[in-house]
Each structure stands twice: as C-alpha cells, then as structure tokens.
Amino acid sequence: MSDSVLLVTPDEPPVTLTASRTTLIAQSRVFHDLLAMPSAPSSEPAQLVLAETEAEIKPFLSVLFGEDGDDASWRKLDEAHWLVVAKLADKYDAPIVRHAVRVEVWRRIDEAGDSFPALSLATHVGPASVTKAAALSALARGWNKKKGNLAPGAADRLAAWSKSLKALAAAIAVDYSDLRARVTRCECLTDGAKAWHGYLWDCLRAFDPRKPFPLEDIPLTFCSAHHGIVEAIANNMNVQYEQWMSPFPS
C-alpha cells in the first residue's frame, strides 16, 4: 500500500495534491477514519475528493505537516485565511492545527491587541480558557454581535455572558456602595463617600470585564491612611467578581 494520498480539490480545473498517508492519519482524526475504511488492495495512492479549494486547504496542510521556516505558507496568513485554518482544524479534528491557531490567538491578544479576530479564531478551536481570554479582551474593546466571524451560536452565547458579567459587577458595586460602613470615621469621608459613589458609577459606565474596579481610578479625596483601605476594598471587589464570574459558555 502506497504511503501517498491524492487530495483532489474542486477547483476548475481540479488540483491534485500529494500528501503522506502516515501524517494524515496521525494528525487528523477525520482523515484517520477516512483512510481506515476498507478498500481493495492496490499499489496506487488512495484518492480523497475534498470540499476545499487549493487556496483553502494548502495553509491547513502546511500546519498539519509541520512546514517550518520563515517561508512556511502559514506564517504569511492574513485574518481571513487564519479563520479558514481554524474552521478546518475543527472540521478535520486536527489537534496540532488547533494548537497553532491558539498560538495565533494569544499573539493577536498580547502583541497586536487584535481582539476581534482573536475571538473569531478562538470560538472555532477553543478550549474555553482561551476563548474566555479572547472574549474578555474583545469585550473590553467594545465587541458587539456585529463584530467578528464567530462560530455558529457563539455570538449569542457571548452576548448573554457579557450581560451576566455587567449584572454581577453592578451587584457587587451596590453591595459595597456604603463606604461609611466599611471604614472608620474620618473627615475625608465627608467628600470621600460621594466620590466613592461617583467612582462606582464610572466603573459600571466604562465597564471593563477583565477588571471592573481599577485601583488606579480611585479618587484622591481620601487621606493617606484611608486611601490604602479603599484600594483594598476595590481589590476585594475585583477578587469577588473573578470568583463569582459565571463559566464561559462553551
């Protein structure tokens, strides 16, 4: 049995790509099942007719086969082609390609600040921890259901999750709104209590789902002793928010 497999695309005219049977079986569960189907003994390579064009499948195969170096085709992909690779990683159940897409998700979040495309990729490959990080970054930058090409159903789930996060932050803000009940009496509280209410309102208005109560935005109306206490209170609010945050919808 030949170790080669012929992959035929629907291009006009069709394009035939030669691939390693061993690698396809090892790196993709779908190709593994397809190539494990009984067939008549033959020295000729097996042939699979694909639904993807050459332009769509080649970057995916580049990652699947571990193409390396600066000239590797997957290193030059734009946003649209990365999305195709992510969808094919899911379709062909290819763990190594999923991993490459996840690396690209983190790169876009950490280096490029490109949250919307990162979120689109993450919804196709997961896991929930990666998608959650991309979602929080995208929400902080103003994501809405019209932005990004998310996996089916992901936009509705994310919109509902976003509302639950805002509701949680609001509930925590209400619970901590009475500053006088949490700190010892001091002249600084005369103006400080009002400033604290303004701070909480501003936090909810400019809601950042990653850290809803930023310490650096606490008003400077408190005395030095109480400013540190107020910072500790805000920090506790953020910790409580993280602990009570509902799981990211998978």
pLDDT one-digit tens code per residue, 11-56? 999 999 999 999 999 999 999 999 987 665 666 788 999 999 999 9
Predicted confidence (pLDDT) per residue in 50-81, tens digit? 999 999 999 999 999 988 777 777 778 888 99
Task: Looking at the structure, tell me whether residues 124 and 148 fall in a common domain.
Answer: yes
Task: Looking at the structure, tell me whether residues 144 and 188 fall in a common domain.
Answer: no
Domain-embedded: residue 167:
yes
Task: Looking at the structure, tell me whether residues 57 and 26 fall in a common domain.
Answer: yes
Domain-embedded: residue 129:
yes
Quote the pLDDT of residue 116. 87
Domain-embedded: residue 250:
no
Task: Looking at the structure, tell me whether residues 62 and 170 fall in a common domain.
Answer: no
From CA 224, how far away is CA 202, in angstroms rounded?
22
Buried b (16+ CB within 10 A) or exposed e, 142-164: ebeeebbbbbeebbebbeebbee
Task: Looking at the structure, tell me whether residues 76 and 171 fall in a common domain.
Answer: no
Task: Looking at the structure, tell me whether residues 113 and 44 fall in a common domain.
Answer: yes
Number of domains the chain contains:
2
Buried b (16+ CB within 10 A) or exposed e, 179-214: beeebeeeebbeebbebbeebbeebbeeeebebbbe
Task: Looking at the structure, tell me whether residues 13 and 104 fall in a common domain.
Answer: yes
Domain-embedded: residue 67:
yes
Task: Looking at the structure, tell me whether residues 47 and 63 fall in a common domain.
Answer: yes
Q: By residue range, what is the domain housing residue 79?
A: 4-152
Q: Is the pLDDT of residue 144 over 80?
A: no
Quote the pLDDT of residue 190. 84
